[in-house]
A = this chain, B = another copy of it.
Amino acid sequence: MLKQVYQFDEGNADMKDLLGGKGANLAEMTRLGLPVPPGFTITTEACMSFLNTTKELSDELKKEIDEHLSLLEKKTNKSFEGDKDLLLVSVRSGAKFSMPGMMDTILNLGLNDETVEQLASLTEDEAFAYDCYRRLLQMFGNVVFGIDMQYFENYLTFYKQKHGVKLDSDLTGDDLKSIVTEFKRIILEIKKKPFPQSAKEQLHLAIEAVFHSWNNERAHIYRELNRIPDDIGTAVNIQLMVFGNSGDTSGTGVAFTRNPATGENKLFGEYLINAQGEDVVAGIRTPEPIEKLKNDLPAVYEEFTRLAHLLEQHYRDMQDIEFTVEKGKLYILQTRNGKRTAQASVKIAVDLVEEGLIQEEDALMTLNPDMISHLLHPEFSKVALEKAVKVSDVGLPASPGSAVGKICFDAATAKEWAAQGEKVILMRQETSPEDIEGMVASEAIVTSRGGMTSHAAVVARGMGTCCVAGCSELEIDEFLKRVVYPGGQLNEGDVISVDGSNGVIYLGELEVEVTETSHYFDTVMAWAKKHARLDVRMNAETVSDIKTGLYFGADGIGLIRTEHMFFGAERLIQMRRFILSNSYIEREKALKVILDYQMDDFKEIFETLNDLPGVIRLLDPPLHEFMPTKEEDIVLLAQEMNVSKNEIERRLKELHEVNPMLGHRGCRLGMTYPELYIMQSEAIIRSAIEMKRETGLDVTPEIMIPLVGTTKELSELKEKIELYLDALMEEEDINVFYRIGTMIELPRACLIANQLAKTADFFSFGTNDLTQMTFGFSRDDAAKYINEYVSKGVLPVDPFQTIDKDGVGELIKTAVEKGRSTTPTIKIGVCGELGGDPTSIEFFDDINLDYVSCSPYRIPIAYIAAAQSTIRRASNNE
């Protein structure tokens, strides 16, 4: 029979699939000889088998658990249900991937009305024993019986107020006995069942609850957000309880081996004396910085420092370590690679390489490409800061970044406003897993309670969202939706500016500006560029955007959208003249004027690009996009053009389309008005000629024909343009090399790519249109139901943000295979928005595209993703 339970000393770090991340870690730490409280792990397979069958613990599993319990009793010389020294355990979930705050934990399991007395007499501390019991009741009631935590919290608050008690630790044994009685009553009343007195029954129910929690909604959302599969399940870790709340030589804490916000190589963490672990993470009491432990418990501090270093060396990455001290004895409860800010991630990566601990490739793999963009986020401008009015500066800089937005006080509102396009800042006394969706939707998170490792801080750093935590001088009233600060009061909807790098909050909206990148960022980017097989180009047409892209190391431009160049006032008039005129000569005149403008545009672009390649897409949108729609604008245009208003309306009617996305656009325009495409091509080549003459620079323009669906569209337009350009170059007696390729953005283009590759000098995938056509989704209209689909799990991701491998991806793959079957060397890139998405970039790398192209600010992301993909493929091939 399949082994479903492992003692910690039976496993190791490689068994994450089976034991989960936490279980494998506990096993590994045990193997390393660290002071880990003993225990055992129930496998993820047991979980999935449980969830896929009866959803009850099988007799076999129960038997195996019993055997391991006996082993644990022997190891600790304590007894779970007997009369020896009392064995209490914690029950914790632990999936393969870290899911902080998502899964549930129960401490002190094994206590009941009798053993609590035993614990009291063993520890000679009745208050401690009953505090343990009330915690068990509370967690068990919540996690296993699904009773809202508020019932317990409210009663505790009520009791303390009634008896004038300020801190939990001031409660006496008698106080806690009353509270325990009340908690048992709450359970009985709401659940209609008493709290189970049998330790084994507690354990079985707790294990079942952990298993079930794999499928709770929060877990689903987290997995969706982090693209973790639904079918891997969670392990359950049952571990000897050690008590950080056993008095003044006890305590509990969390520490990072390096600073997770800045990356500084210095132990960083917090602890609470006389407390259990949940107290630190939940942010209910504000903990002390780890350095102070040196004063409180110097031996423990020294030992912990040693072990922390040992763990970092062993795991070769910054560690996030949970520890507990029980009456002076240090226990390590957990270690994992620590979450960190983007800033910290690049510094740590560079430092670890410089320390010789890891290679560049390993360092690159520690980075989260999506987060890299946070390094490029704007900061408040110095000028703005000089005049700024502070709301508060006592908060903790929990997650860096600068954000401006309207405040709101609950997750639902945050989500709703964000969906309407508002920038929102979520303010809570403290956050909890229920707030996840609201946190995702917010620009920044501000809390009045909790420390650097509180829920808000950890989650915000994980998402790269700006966060100020524990800003204790704010009185946040979530019910009345207002916050009182030393200088006044803010209401829901008021605008503030938040600086997560120093924890300061300002009134109103501050101006922002772009930051300079750091040495660490530059180093990491140089590595990425070195290791990435894919080239990364930018989508850009303004000089300032192109400069930004070049600054980030772009290998050229993947998409220059020429239509943007037609919207200047004078050009627009000429374009409208072209559209409205019935005379060929008039139209030619209009084009001539546009040609001169376009030449200026292209020369500027070529000058900025220097010798890098640039793909120029010929006019794509339907003509009606250049026409006015409002009555008054039409009247104005009629006057300007000296034609009747009726005439313009007639033409507008003629141009109107029921489904413009599927209408007369792209190369279909070029087929109807070849003179338009020829004019653009002429402007491109004339600019290149002038560049060559003036500066000697040889540019090789790549002219791209959009929306091709048939071979003849491409071949006829290409031939027409070539004939014209060849004559032009002969006339000018100068030669400029250029390419003519096509955008692949229709399903049909993918299917006939073998034919298109005979004519096209290059391919570039337009993933936006291709996704629209493949799904039959109009981006303009579909946002509503796509969001609905993603949140309901009908679609795993928004296919406009991350490649739909089964559909769109399949077509792209087909096109690449067919195209290369005709012309093995044809250059193929992607210029649609997916070109800047890490998951999509991995896919494009896998199918051997030559480059991706994305907006300038996403170039660093694309490089990291591309480098990671190359490294991953190399390691898969080993």
Q: Which residues does A use to contact B, with CB under 8 Å? A: 657-664, 668, 671-672, 707, 709-710, 712-713, 716, 745-748, 751-752, 755, 769, 772-778, 780-782, 784-785, 788-789, 792-795, 804, 806-808, 810-811
A778 → B minimal CB distance (Å): 3
Partner among B671, B773, B794 whose Cβ is within 8 Å of the Cβ of A747: B773
19 A-B pairs with CB atoms under 8 Å apart are A659-B661, A659-B662, A662-B777, A663-B778, A664-B782, A664-B784, A668-B785, A710-B789, A710-B794, A746-B774, A746-B776, A747-B776, A748-B774, A748-B775, A748-B806, A748-B807, A751-B774, A751-B806, A752-B807
CB neighbours of A755 from chain B (8 A)? 806
CB neighbours of A777 from chain B (8 A)? 662, 709
Partner among B709, B784, B785 whose Cβ is within 8 Å of the Cβ of A776: B709
A-B pairs, 4 with minimum CB distance: A662-B778, A748-B807, A659-B778, A658-B780
Residue of B nearest to A776 (CB): B746
Report the separation of the CA atoms of residues A159 and B657 in the bound assembly, to the nearest whole angstrom: 58
Residue among A662, A745, A810 having the largest count of chain B Cβ atoms under 10 Å: A662
Evaluate contact between B808 and A748: CB separation under 8 angstroms: yes
A774/B789 contact (C-beta < 8 A), A662-B662, A781-B657 known: no
CB neighbours of A778 from chain B (8 A)? 657-659, 661-663
CB neighbours of A664 from chain B (8 A)? 781-782, 784-785
Evaluate contact between B747 and A793: CB separation under 8 angstroms: no
CB neighbours of A752 from chain B (8 A)? 806-807
A822 → B minimal CB distance (Å): 14
Report the separation of the CA atoms of residues A707 and B807 in the bound assembly, to the nearest whole angstrom: 15
Report the separation of the CA atoms of residues A769 and B775 in the bound assembly, to the nearest whole angstrom: 11
CB neighbours of A785 from chain B (8 A)? 664, 668, 671-672
Complex copy number for this chain: 2
Evaluate contact between A712 and B662: CB separation under 8 angstroms: no
Residue of B nearest to A769 (CB): B776
CB neighbours of A806 from chain B (8 A)? 748, 751-752, 755
Report the separation of the CA atoms of residues A668 and B786 in the bound assembly, to the nearest whole angstrom: 10
Evaluate contact between B773 and A776: CB separation under 8 angstroms: yes
CB neighbours of A784 from chain B (8 A)? 664
CB neighbours of A712 from chain B (8 A)? 792-795
- For the complex with contacts A659-B661, A662-B662, A712-B794, 18 further pairs of A-B residues with Cβ separation under 8 Å are A657-B778, A659-B781, A660-B781, A662-B782, A663-B781, A664-B785, A707-B776, A709-B775, A710-B789, A710-B794, A712-B792, A747-B774, A747-B807, A748-B774, A751-B774, A751-B811, A769-B776, A773-B776
Partner among B658, B773, B789 whose Cβ is within 8 Å of the Cβ of A773: B773
Evaluate contact between B810 and A659: CB separation under 8 angstroms: no
Report the separation of the CA atoms of residues A408 and B780 in the bound assembly, to the nearest whole angstrom: 45
Report the separation of the CA atoms of residues A354 and B808 in the bound assembly, to the nearest whole angstrom: 57
CB neighbours of A810 from chain B (8 A)? 751
CB neighbours of A792 from chain B (8 A)? 671, 712
Partner among B772, B788, B804 whose Cβ is within 8 Å of the Cβ of A662: B772
CB neighbours of A780 from chain B (8 A)? 657-659
Report the separation of the CA atoms of residues A806 and B748 in the bound assembly, to the nearest whole angstrom: 8
A619 → B minimal CB distance (Å): 15
Report the separation of the CA atoms of residues A810 and B747 in the bound assembly, to the nearest whole angstrom: 11
CB neighbours of A811 from chain B (8 A)? 747, 751
Report the separation of the CA atoms of residues A769 and B776 in the bound assembly, to the nearest whole angstrom: 9
Residue of B nearest to A662 (CB): B778
Report the separation of the CA atoms of residues A186 and B664 in the bound assembly, to the nearest whole angstrom: 48
Residue of B nearest to A799 (CB): B748
A794/B751 contact (C-beta < 8 A), A658-B780, A785-B672 known: no
Evaluate contact between B781 and A658: CB separation under 8 angstroms: yes
Report the separation of the CA atoms of residues A672 and B782 in the bound assembly, to the nearest whole angstrom: 13
Evaluate contact between A781 and B671: CB separation under 8 angstroms: no
